[in-house]
A and B are shown apart, each in its own frame.
Chain A
Amino acid sequence: MFNQAMQISEHAAVVNRLVELDNVKDDFIENMNHELRTPLTSIIGYMEMIIGDVDSRVEPQLASSLATVQRNALRLQVLIENMMQISKTEFDTPRLVVSKLDVGHLLGDVIKSMDLVAKDCGVEVTLRLDSPASDLLIDDDLNRLGQVFINLVSNAIKFTPREGKVSVVARRAFADGDYVEVTVTDTGIGIPSEEFPNMFKRFFRASTATQALIPGFGIGLSLVRSIVREHHGTITFDSTVGKGTVFTVRIPVRFIPTGPPDGTT
């Protein structure tokens, strides 16, 4: 009896210690997040203002150099967002603070935020809404779906050679339920079909990307799939090497707050 009580007491002490360590971990991640974002705010903000002041016709080299700095700062921003989201996806319980998301508006903002990057890369990015904007409203858990489209569009730009195109199309669809479907199509370097099964694995990078020396960590798509699954959505893709890739995301219009995600990809 005494031994059993001792064991329970020791067990409780271990649990308390683990909870304590988990809180330390959360504080560390949140503090790192704050410390990284604060200087990046100044870099991105001042750079945007300076770029707006430079006449690229008069000083094309300076304009190009500034665009390069900005492109890299934005890459850093996406990386920080991804790292934060991954830590939350892995360690936190699912959050259910659901709000209505205007997908058309969001996609417009995403593409606008990457306008300078796309121009610097010589890639044309277009958006088309095949349904009225009022039909493209979906439930979004804590504004996390934005991260899905930021990753897909920035990847498409990154993996598309100069003079290539990226087209983003959104529509409401009812074929197998009621959902909003977004496709991101690029004319980029493509993915070898034998690597398709690995594309959503963390840190996996397509051989076409590594051969072309395109930088990255291989965490974006893994994160995208996690967020899509949390919203009970699906993500699929098709690709041909040298021709391009199309990603299709389908998110149910209404969030399902109970039961596990179906995990379909």
Chain B
Amino acid sequence: MNDKERQVIVVADDDHDICKLVEIQLSRHGFQVFTANNGDSALVLIFVHRPVVALLDIMMPGLSGLDVARRVRDNPATSQTGIVMFSARSTFGSEADLDELGVDDYIIKPFSPQDLVRRINDVINRRRTDETTQL
């Protein structure tokens, strides 16, 4: 089992088809994927599994993607989680919110599954580099 096979991603989207699409694609690239269809479940999965990246849809029933991101950042145990937001809207609301939350990347739907993997790997590598720099 290599390093990537142990890396966990939590994916949250209220559209089941898109959730499954992302799960299949990321699993094929060696990630362990946990999926949620609402913000509350996503938060539980993140706190339990401590993913390297959480991929969050902005609009979900219950807690929104931004709400989840805020709580993840506020918890010292998960504050360093990579956060990628995605949305089928053409804007992500307040750019200031994204900056304030330290969102690592945001993706507008539709997206290419190949591109998604590349961007998640970029986030992981950037966070790894940042950690190394801080040591």
- Residues of A near any B CB (own CB < 8 A): 30, 33-34, 37-38, 40-46, 48-49, 52, 77, 84, 88, 97, 109, 113
How far is it, in angstroms, between the C-alpha of A185 and the C-alpha of B17 when the chains are bound?
39
Cβ contacts under 8 Å, A34 to chain B = 59, 88-89
Check B15 against A46 for contact (C-beta < 8 Å).
no
- Determine the interface band of chain B, counting residues with CB < 8 A from chain A: 10 to 19
Among the listed B59, B88, B90, B113, which residue makes an inter-chain contact with A45, where contact means beta carbons less than 8 Å apart?
Answer: B113
Q: Top 4 A-B pairs ranked by shortest CB distance?
A: A37-B88, A41-B110, A41-B109, A42-B17
A38 with B109: in contact, given A33-B88, A49-B24 (CB under 8 Å)? Answer: yes
**Contact A48-B15, Cβ < 8 Å, known A30-B89, A33-B88:** no
Residue of chain B at shortest CB distance from A39: B17
In the complex, besides A30-B89, A38-B109, A113-B115, 17 extra interface pairs with C-beta distance below 8 angstroms are A33-B88, A33-B89, A34-B88, A37-B88, A37-B89, A37-B110, A38-B18, A40-B110, A41-B88, A41-B110, A42-B15, A42-B18, A45-B18, A46-B17, A48-B113, A48-B114, A49-B21
Asked if residues A45 and B21 are in contact (CB atoms below 8 Å), the reply is yes
Is A45's CB under 8 angstroms from B89's CB? no
B112 to chain A, nearest CB (A): 6
B25 at the interface (CB under 8 A from A): yes
The answer to whether residues A45 and B112 also contact, given A30-B90, A34-B88, A38-B88 and a CB cut-off of 8 A, is yes
Question: A30 contacts which chain B residues (CB < 8 A)?
Answer: 89-90
B126 to chain A, nearest CB (A): 15
